[in-house]
Every structure is written in C-alpha cells, then in structure tokens.
Amino acid sequence: MIAARLHGREDLRVEEVPDPAPGPGEVELAVAHNGLCGTDLHEYFDGPMACTNEPHPLTGGRLPQIVGHEFAGTVAAVGSGVVGVAVGDRVAVEPLYFCRRCWACRAGLTQLCELVMTHGICSHGGGLAESTVVPSWMLHPLPESITLAQGALVEPMSVSFSGMLRAGLEPGQSALVLGAGPIGIGVLLGLRAIDVRDVLVVETAPARRAAVETLGFEVIDPEVVDVATEVRRRTAGSGVDAVIDCAGAAATFSIAPAVLRPRGRYVILAFGFIDVPFAPWLLARTEIELTGSCGYNSDVFTRVIDLIAGGAYPTDAWVEHVGLDDVTAVLAELRAGQRMKVLVDVG
C-alpha cells in the first residue's frame, strides 16, 4: 500500500509499505480522509520529537513513522475477539494510547497519561496510508448524517471542545478567543453549541478573519484595533469571563490580564514553544485563573460526534481537500499561514 512516512526532519516520503493485518482485538481501516494539524508541523519542521529511533515504551513506535492522527474510514477487516464491529462500518478514530495504570488514567484523564501517545505520531501506523490497524476500542461509529470527511474532523474538534470546556463558561457569559486557525474555529463553534454568544475573536491573518466572519463571528485585527480597549468598551469596563488562547504567541500572553474580569479564566490551548515574561502579582491582584488544556477524553469525543451530527460544525470557508502526493508542499503552506484546515483524501 501507499503511505506517507516521516524518516527525519523535513524528510517525509510517500512510498510503498507492507499492507497491515489486524491481530486479536484489532481492526483494519480503509482510511478515507486524514487531517493535517499543528503537531504534524512540529514533528516535520522541528522534530522529530515524539517519535525517535528509540521504541516508545507504550506503543513500540519508532522512525520511520506513518504520520496522521486525525482520520476516519471504513472497517476493512476484523481481528479475532472483536465484537460490535463489522466490515463496512464507518468510523472515526480516537487515536490515544494510554497505560490505564497511572494516576491520570485511573482518574479518567487518559489524555494526561504519563505515557500517552497517539496513533500516527509514534505507533505502528497512521492515517496517511491507504489502510491502518488500530485497537477496536479506538473506534467510534459514525451516524449516517456524518460524512467520512466530517468524521476526520472529530479529533481536532474534540481538542477544541475540551479546551473550551476548561473555560467553565455558561450561556450568557463572554469570551475572547485568540487565534482563528482550525483549533480557534473549533472553539468558536463549540462556544456557539453551548449557547455562549458574546464572543470576540482576535486574528491578524486576513484569510482567517474572512473565514470566521463567514461563520458569523465578530473578529478584530490587533494590528488595527487595540484589543484591551475594545474589550473594555464592549463590557462596560468589566472585562470578559474567559480568554481562550489558540494562538500560542508571546504577544497573546500579555492580552489576557488586560481583558479578564476579576476571577476570570485564561485557558492556554495552543502549544507554543516560547518563553514569555510572567508577573505572578497579576494573578494575585485579580484572582485570575491560569490553566491549560491538552487533548480530550472519550466522553468529549462522543459528544463532538453528536454535535457534528446535529449540524454544529459547518465546514464551508475553512476546510479544503488535497491528495496524498501534495502533503509535503501543503505542510509548508500551512506553516506559512497560507491554508486553513486541510484534509488529505487518502481513499
């Protein structure tokens, strides 16, 4: 079969690899679509970091790695001992491996497992291949109302939804979302789904501002409008209830203390490998809560599938499709901010 394998930094090859076969408890999927995300960019341009030449202690994964962890497809074969799954089933994949033994796993926070790893980042396969084998417990059946392309969006939208939930917002409250890339858009659509409507978006890229406006959200350019002044004006000086940072830039880190109300919450959702100045007295003075979000658990994954089925995640204006041979070029374009959300049509 054909697959895209990462051999090293900026060394991704679309090549022939052996066809996988499911073992006991496993399922082979014919992959239909796989999304590209920021983690793929980090691994390709800055890594490899998660996957190296040393086998991962939980998955055994090592370079070269078939990449791709945001995918959906159709069951092609079923291993022994698998129940409740049949050939032809349409499924999305919740791609996290976890140990089930550490404190986080026992607490139901499997995304924070000490050994957590992702299928398609460091494992025996990935979604940028004609087929891949995963444990049957990773599968989530897709309702007929969801296309396989929408199924490939469940994983990143679960990242967004989980981060949005960390803000603890309720209907009638307000939020400032920093960054309108795919994760930022997922946060916005998630906020709308829980009926948080007083939302302002901050984004510098014209194309992303246009996409957000098409989806019905209000967005400002921080190079034209002073964010703190605008937020204070809109909130009669009190500030917003939450700031959700989907940009991960040093400049965005300074915005939250200036726009949050007392005891507001600042959620860092973006992975930015940067150092920023930090003034602890700001938290003490206003009792602002600073927190983060990483991944999701199965409950969130299932909830997002239901929301997509209900029409909460329209894809017009921000999702596009490319072929498997285009992946290397598209990664560079994504890094340059020239594209929004890209799904690779594998099948």
DSSP string, 91-130: EEE--EE--S-SHHHHTT-GGG-TT-EETTTSSS--SSBS
> Has residue 9 got a pLDDT over 80?
yes
In this structure, how many other beta carbons lie within 10 angstroms of the beta carbon of residue 49? Answer: 13
* Residue range 199-250, pLDDT digits in tens: 999 999 999 999 999 999 999 999 999 999 999 999 999 999 999 999 988 8
2-153+315-345 domain in CATH 3.30.70.240?
Answer: no
* Residue range 139-149, pLDDT digits in tens: 999 999 999 99
Do 2-153+315-345 and 160-292 show the same overall fold?
no
Can you give the pLDDT at residue 217? 97
User: Per-residue b/e over 230-243, b at no fewer than 16 CB within 10 Å?
Assistant: bbbebbeeebbbbb
Amino acid at 120: G
Domain assignments of the chain as residue spans, ordered by start: 2-153+315-345, 160-292
In this structure, how many other beta carbons lie within 10 angstroms of the beta carbon of residue 161? Answer: 27
> Has residue 282 got a pLDDT over 80?
no
CB 103 within 8 A of CB 115: no
CB 281 within 8 A of CB 304: no
Can you give the pLDDT at residue 249? 82
How does residue 277 score in pLDDT terms, banded at 50, 70 and 90?
confident
> Has residue 309 got a pLDDT over 90?
yes
β pairing state of 260-268 and 289-292 = parallel
Angle, helices 182-193 vs 206-214, to 10°: value is 20
160-292: which CATH number, 3.40.50.720, 3.40.220.10, 3.20.20.105, 3.40.50.2300?
3.40.50.720
Can you give the pLDDT at residue 337? 84
Angle, helices 298-309 vs 154-166, to 10°: value is 110
What's the mean pLDDT in 124-146? 97
84 backbone φψ class: left, alpha, beta (φ>0; ψ -120 to 50)? left
